[in-house]
Amino acid sequence: MSIRGFIFDLDGVLTDTAEYHYRGWKRLADELGIPFTREENEALRGIPRRESLLTLLKGRPATEEQLQEWMARKNAYYLEYIREISPADVLPGARELLEEIRAAGLKSALGSASKNAREVIERLGIAPLLDAVSDGNSVTRQKPAPDLFLHAAAQLQLSPWQCVVVEDAAAGIEAALAGGFWTIGLGPQTRVGRAHVVLPSLQDARLENLLAGLKTS
Ligand code: B16
Ligand code: MG
């Protein structure tokens, strides 16, 4: 085993933007008169914008023009909310792990479905700790296709078997496995149980322990 790099998902791994996505979708849903709950929002974890909107519409008919306008409206709300994001919003253990990876001479990349990922990592103050950024603008086929993580690995000039993908969404773990990556799943077994290593979060996740866990998986 020769791990040379880590690829991190953003929402649910490095920070919790799910609350802001929820508020954006909820405001749009209220305006359209569509019921939408926090529980329903959980199903949108790691799911790209357009697919999220189609899920929220629950089969209601819409023209392409309406879909575009509603996605733009939700995104404007989301951008308004993420202005609140600061370095205090990095999830526990994430910054420490990024620093450890850098100190060990390994590489780190972002692999997020979000088209707003760059703005979020700037606000979190972790952009300097990432060697490459692959986001919702980088590839056409989204998770569970492996394209986004392959794009990130290529930027790091590493092969999938040299990289670990850290993800909180089932679609993200599937994407990483399809690409031939090592995987660390954050969250319940029911969601990320297919990962090589499953942890509740990155809190107390030390690099040495993660690499040892992958070795015995
Ligand atoms: P945007 P991740 C995902 O981020 C979110 O989990 C998901 O809820 C969101 O719809 C998606 O990004 C697209 O975001 O509308 O900003 O392009 O988990 O892949 O970092
Ligand atoms: Mg995620």
**Model confidence over 105-163: pLDDT tens digits?**
999 999 999 999 999 999 999 999 999 999 999 999 999 999 999 999 999 999 999 99
| C-alpha dihedral (117, 118, 121, 122), degrees to nearest 10 | -150
pLDDT value at residue 10: 97
Q: If pLDDT is split at 50, 70 and 90, which confidence band does 217 have?
A: confident
Kindly state if the Cβ of 21 falls inside 6 Å of ligand 1.
Answer: yes
107 and 44 housed in the same domain: no
Strands of the sheet containing 5-8, edge to edge, are 132-134, 107-111, 5-8, 163-167, 182-186, 197-199
CA dist., res. 15 & res. 120, Å (int): 9
Check whether residue 60 and residue 158 sit in a common domain: no
Looking at the fold, whether 44 and 144 belong to one and the same domain comes out as no
Whose alpha carbon is nearest atom 16 of ligand 1? 114
What predicted TM-score, i.e. pTM, was given to this entire model? Answer: 0.95
**Same domain for 33 and 100?**
no
Q: Are residues 189 and 207 in the same domain?
A: yes
Q: Please indicate, yes or no, whether residues 118 and 210 belong to a single structural domain of this protein.
A: yes
Which structural domain, as residue segments, surrounds residue 40?
18-82
Q: In testing the pocket of ligand 1, which one of 17, 23, 81, 120 has its CB within 8 Å of the most ligand atoms?
A: 17
58 lies in the same domain as 149: no
Helix axes 207-215, 94-103, angle to 10 degrees: 80
1 pLDDT higher than 80? no
Are residues 138 and 195 located together in one domain of the fold? yes
Between CA 49 and CA 63 the distance in angstroms is 16
Q: How many domains does the chain have?
A: 2
Q: Each residue of 82-92: pLDDT tens digit?
A: 999 999 999 99
Distance CA 152, CA 88 (A): 26
Would you say the CB of residue 49 lies under 6 angstroms from ligand 1? yes
Instruction: Give 102's pLDDT tier (boundaries 50, 70, 90).
Output: very high
Does residue 103 share a domain with residue 44?
no
Task: Answer yes or no: do 55 and 96 share one domain.
Answer: no
Check which CATH number belongs to the domain holding 45 and give it: 1.10.150.240
Residues 127 and 137 in one domain: yes
* CATH code of residue 177: 3.40.50.1000
End position of a domain, from candidates 82, 117, 132: 82
Q: pLDDT tens across 19-63, in order?
A: 999 999 999 999 999 999 999 998 898 899 999 999 999 999 999
Q: Looking at 60, 82, 104, which one is the last position of a domain?
A: 82
Residue 149: its H or E element: helix 147-156
Element holding 202 (H helix, E strand): none
Instruction: Indicate which residue's Cα is closest to atom 8 of ligand 1.
Output: 45
193 vs 209: CA distance, rounded Å: 19
pLDDT digits (tens, 9 = 90+) for 155-208: 999 999 999 999 999 999 999 999 999 999 999 999 999 999 999 999 989 999
Same domain for 126 and 69: no
For residue 128, count other CB atoms closer than 10 A to its CB. 10
CB of 135 within 6 A of ligand 1: the answer is: no
Q: Which of 62, 82, 102 is the last residue of a domain?
A: 82
Q: Which of 9, 10, 11, 166 to mutate to test the pocket of ligand 1 (most atoms within 8 A of CB)?
A: 11
